[in-house]
Structure 1
């Protein structure tokens, strides 16, 4: 996967830096899942081979390490909502789902809608034509289960 992260002139916003971190994390996770390379080697390679000056490095590392170390638990969290075996998922879809699940479960400071939307955007850029719809549906169901209180509070206007 190539670096398709857009670059703008001037100081990047925090939102852009986080979006770039997710984009790089997705690419690194894809490499991890397809090539089976060690996480610390992938992280070092990404830091050397990419301009990460407009990237939230801390978030990139958290996502890369958190998703790889917790992939089995993350997979189990959304597995009930899949319409096919986990092994049949495209590696990009799988990596996007893992990032979204990680953020929904472990990054509670990120609103559930942001976690889902960021994953959908990754799927639009890197995934197959309709994969963003699939990712959205799975993560929405997971959010209902792991962020139900937040969702209910938002709907009631609190």
Structure 2
């Protein structure tokens, strides 16, 4: 029989990916506002935040590979990601007007939709709506849902096409 302490929710890979998503958003935000280099931010998070204790508060373990993939992928693909987010937003609300945290959430979500087909689109959307809820209590989680849903239907239409009857 498995030891419940070793099979806790925190040790499951999916949960560690969720923590990595949240950390990636924080890292992207930090890079944008402080102009910090990607290598420095990733090293800082891995050395001092992911799974570490800070000011008496224990941070949960994260999938470090997933974290690095998200941060590095967003940075590498941002010139392709930003126009698609801009196009998915309301016409009178350009990406430049969007809060920096919300931009980081959307960028990470779009990167994952485009480059991680191993994760179902609906899971990606749900995960980033949850990340948005960690930062915002108002309309922002709904904006994340709407933008990522719209882009997911463009990027992965096969996941949203209803199956034919009898198949």
After TM superposition, the score normalised by the length of structure 2 is: 0.83
Aligned to 2:36, the other structure's residue is in SS state coil
Deviation at 1:87, TM superposition (A): 0.8
Please name the residue that 1:42 is paired with.
Answer: 41
Which residue, 97, 121, 127 being the options, matches 1:88? 97
- Is the 8 Å Cα contact of residues 85 and 95 (structure 2) preserved in structure 1? no
Gap runs ≥5 in structure 1: 1-8
Deviation at 1:70, TM superposition (A): 1.1
Cα–Cα, structure 1 residues 34 and 48, in superposed 2: closer, same or farther, change >3 Å? same
Q: Does 2:17 correspond to 1:31?
A: no
Aligned to 1:37, the other structure's residue is in SS state coil
- Is the 8 Å Cα contact of residues 81 and 138 (structure 1) preserved in structure 2? yes
- Is the 8 Å Cα contact of residues 31 and 38 (structure 2) preserved in structure 1? yes
The 2-side partners of 1:85 and 1:130 are apart by: 16
Please name the residue that 1:122 is paired with.
Answer: 131
Deviation at 1:35, TM superposition (A): 0.8
Please name the residue that 1:14 is paired with.
Answer: 13
Which residue, 150, 159, 162 being the options, matches 1:141? 150
Structure showing the higher helix proportion among its residues: 1
Deviation at 1:146, TM superposition (A): 0.6
User: What do residues 106-138 of structure 1 show as CA deviations (whole Å, max 9, x unaligned)?
Assistant: 101110000101110000002352200011001
Q: Does 2:70 correspond to 1:63?
A: yes
Gap runs ≥5 in structure 2: 52-59
Please name the residue that 2:55 is paired with.
Answer: none
After TM superposition, the score normalised by the length of structure 1 is: 0.88
- Is the 8 Å Cα contact of residues 74 and 101 (structure 1) preserved in structure 2? yes
Deviation at 1:33, TM superposition (A): 1.1
